[in-house]
A = this chain, B = another copy of it.
């Protein structure tokens, strides 16, 4: 993409109403624009990252055997009356009346609708297990939206729903999502720690929040430090195999949010491994048995011929919120430092003197070759001063920056900067392009 043709409205000043660094940087880097309280437009740069994050979430869901569908944003209130949640949900639900005076709502989540879909088509144990997910915009009318996309009103969520014959089978579905989530967050450069969460009146031990540790986290968390050091299971896992040992390995170690914290249990963690930090919730998985299938009559015939309510779980990832979490975890005073898998562009080309024949030719050449190598370069071909170009490239977090100007070219050199480390290399234009194409500087 040529910057002259892109739409990248970067801001020089830090907006005064943004309190946390991810919100500030997303506004300054021209990633989002607030349209109403807690409601954002995703400008081209922000949308590119959002789509990469969404695609990682999708790929890991598919790998775990979940099947994607897409439910609408607008739902009928009657569906929520069936489960009893319409009256319980409170003011966070955006309630709507259509032209025929029917009660509708903008979906804050989809347990009711997916249960309705399931019961319409699936009646037998032979139809099980089922793992269905969608990635759709949700709306929760937060009383005080803040922190940019971290607590917005309109937000993108991936929500998966599992349908199983009984609790034992449901645990297998639960484990698939548990492992898939660890891989998902790891691919985005996030260390997400699974922490025991409140299961409410249903009880049991099958609810976990996935928490990214960050100084600006919304809540205090407590965990065994080994959990932070432990790598993700890896994407070569057999999701049809027994995942329990992988799950046990992690749930055996102490980890709890403020809400669930038990200081006396935490005290038994060796002192040098006791970690108290702040965290951002990026995922939540939950087994809730027949909470919805009972009232909504989602029954399946068991092998014994009897009908029983299907056992369900739900598994959410805050897709748009993840961008905030990634920036909180990866930035410096100059701007974003995107992990490569989610970087909006693979490399920047900075033409220090657009209009100079030699510089233009060298940039065009690099642009063609890096595009062909699949690196999706952003070519700054504007007439902006070099200082401004450097600042923008760092602000928006281009992982590699190829700096090309007449002075260097006279000596046959261009400069290649690695955003993460700040290191620079003086190379011939050919070397620089070839080594970028070979991913010679990649840290993964």
Contact = CB atoms under 8 A, between A and B. Distances in A.
B94 A69 contact: no
B141 A73 contact: no
Given A94-B96, A154-B74, A69 B5 contact: no
Contact of A104 (B36, B65, B92, B117): B36
A375 interface: no
Interface string A132-149: 100001010101000000
Interface residues of A, number: 51
A372 to B, nearest CB: 17
A141 B98 contact: yes
B113 A74 contact: no
Interface in A1-53: 5-7, 9, 30, 33, 35-36, 39-44, 47, 50
A274 B374 CA distance: 48
Interface string A63-89: 001011111111110010000000000
Interface in A181-220: none
Given A9-B121, A65-B5, A143-B99, A154 B44 contact: no
Nearest to A30: B121
A401 to B, nearest CB: 21
Contacts of A41: 69-72, 113, 117
A92 to B, nearest CB: 8
Interface of A: 5-7, 9, 30, 33, 35-36, 39-44, 47, 50, 65, 67-76, 79, 91-92, 94, 96, 98-99, 102, 104, 106, 113, 116-117, 120-122, 130, 132, 137, 139, 141, 143, 153-154
Enumerate the 10 nearest inter-chain pairs by beta-carbon distance, A residue then B residue, closest first: A9-B121, A42-B70, A36-B76, A91-B99, A41-B71, A99-B141, A72-B154, A39-B72, A47-B70, A44-B69
